[in-house]
Chains A and B, each alone.
Chain A
């Protein structure tokens, strides 16, 4: 088969989208868009890597920081949220063997999150709006530095993302709780309580244990989804606050120095942001490891009750750890710094350590296993968090934070290793595993490219995070510009690793395009030809 023919029609017939169920199409719409946004975030990251090595005339300070503002937002919401939500909207009905509550809501979710991310990105691209994702008050309302139009664009984009996020959360819980047509009445409240973990707490205090109504993977998805919803509330509240100040500016009233206490705002905002960083990411990742381990081995999870309990603890921990972001704020109380910042945060080492242990033992008990793409990416994901979580615990210490806060250590050894190696490799494992299920058996075009994808991503991700971290230990700040080559050795090495990450993505994207074919990819976004509420075609299910 010629190259052009494969490019257009895919490998061995490519993606036969005509036979796909509406649910498969919805899931793939999320995933494909999420992968494209990952590519955008990777290119943005590489642009910043270049500036960290040598000044670039085309990227001045304002441009640099507007890239830095949208880069994590595109990465988290445009890419990670999209891939995760697509997978979970498919997996909840798949595991519960019941139809999704609403396909329309699911379609609305990817459109709103995708469209919102693009609009938010335009705020940086067109208007150089650059208060960073932290939005430290009153910087986002500083219209002497930023354009008002950029601010409005940013808020509208983020608001759309959050509306899409609410719809996702609602759809997930309704799918768990509702009674499909023709079914016996479902015990909605009991299902909800079990999904959240209240039933397990009840069991702990009762002599007679009640059976779990919701499987562990669905429980993991539910607990992370609670944090998704809470986070959306906080971000929406920040957006409303910003809009008030923007309207004030429009009507000539400068509210910049009024009303909002910057430290209180910082506490509330970090409480919300940590529901992502220390909440849903860790919960979703642990849940995804369990799903992957069970699907790869075809066996039940080792110590699944402990896993369930750890997920609940993680959810509660995520509500109480925010203060580790304020350890260098002298106005923050020492009690909060020690209890929330140090001690509660230390529990994340335990919960995530348990997740690593349970996943590894589940895999080990099923050996020998074939080293498939999903297995090797899963091991990469586990390694990522084994490296990144201790790095986070170290910086959440009063002694270390004084010399690490806002350095490249935070964003390199902790954040980028967690996201690029831990989270992204876990997501790639899920994509490789779900590929045949979502596509009714489409065959990967090139295993060599998949192998190259794995090694380039693993080495590039760990390498980039490590060199950034070493620069941080030597004093390099994360939100500053260095023009005299102060950290050039580290930055050149980090840049080389960044190129590896970009090449890894190119290999993956090219492989996917050649596997599905351009026609197949476009077909994902055309209306489904089959009218079924099943997740997969009946023939495949059989």
Chain B
């Protein structure tokens, strides 16, 4: 099952290749534009409509692709009909995070809900591995529903960081070793070993 590392590594590769193609295309065009033309006709209408179709296909196709390939999208969209196995409450106030249980112990494959409540400002709730790559995040808006349902598939210890700016005082809101996942067949090599990070 794909996790965020796989998705982001694919993004880096695909976007990197696209960027090289785009830069090469403009460089080639810039070179050709200074040379005399071999024919005076513009592109045929079929080329134009194919181009438009490709743009529409890529623009909308991405969303169908991720709906089917990225596991958290159907969970997000069908959130109301999925029963949570465990719910953790996280309260934000005065640039502090307090947790209903700490660390938050998660069983592999369970649907867990992180239910964040802000009593003052807008914050963020982000789950990070030891190497600082992101697992997931959501916004934490005061007096609004902020509940992220997630399913962990690898063992590991993760930290939580506020991902939204809440003033200079909130620039480093971090809770180390906040989530511990156990019971999976595989370890998350980028997350701290069980027992927490130093």
Contacts and interface: CB of A to CB of B under 8 A. Distances in A.
Nearest to A407: B134
Contact of A402 (B37, B72, B147): B72
Contacts of B40: 365
A528 interface: no
A193 interface: no
A136 B162 CA distance: 15
Contacts of A136: 121-122, 164-165
A330 B147 contact: yes
Given A132-B165, A477-B161, A481-B171, A399 B139 contact: no
A156 to B, nearest CB: 21
Given A262-B143, A405-B163, A480-B161, A62 B15 contact: no
Contacts of B139: 326, 328-330, 405
Contact of B34 (A61, A138, A139, A367): A367
Contact of B59 (A146, A349, A403): A349
Contacts of B135: 403
Interface in B36-54: 36-37, 40, 42-43, 48, 51-52
B92 to A, nearest CB: 13
Contact of A386 (B22, B36, B48): B22
Given A379-B26, A394-B11, A480-B161, A343 B33 contact: no
B20 to A, nearest CB: 11
A387 interface: yes
Nearest to A376: B30
B30 A371 contact: yes
A302 B47 CA distance: 14
A382 interface: yes
A330 B146 contact: yes
Interface stretch (B60-68, B83-91, B100-108, B176-184): B60-68
B33 A363 contact: yes
A42 B54 CA distance: 37
Contacts of B136: 402-403
A393 B61 CA distance: 11
A371 B32 CA distance: 11
User: Which of A329, A361, A363 gathers most chain B CB within 10 Å?
Assistant: A329
Interface string B65-100: 011011011001100000000000000000000000
Contact of B166 (A139, A329, A466): A139
Interface stretch (A208-216, A352-360, A497-505, A514-522): A352-360
User: Which of A379, A479, A487 gathers most chain B CB within 10 Å?
Assistant: A479
User: Which of B67, B72, B137, B172 gathers most chain A CB within 10 Å?
Assistant: B137
5 contacts: A330-B145, A379-B29, A397-B63, A403-B135, A405-B139
Closest 4 CB pairs of A and B: A346-B59, A399-B66, A399-B70, A479-B165
Given A262-B141, A348-B59, A364-B29, 6 more contacts: A139-B122, A145-B168, A329-B144, A353-B55, A365-B42, A399-B67
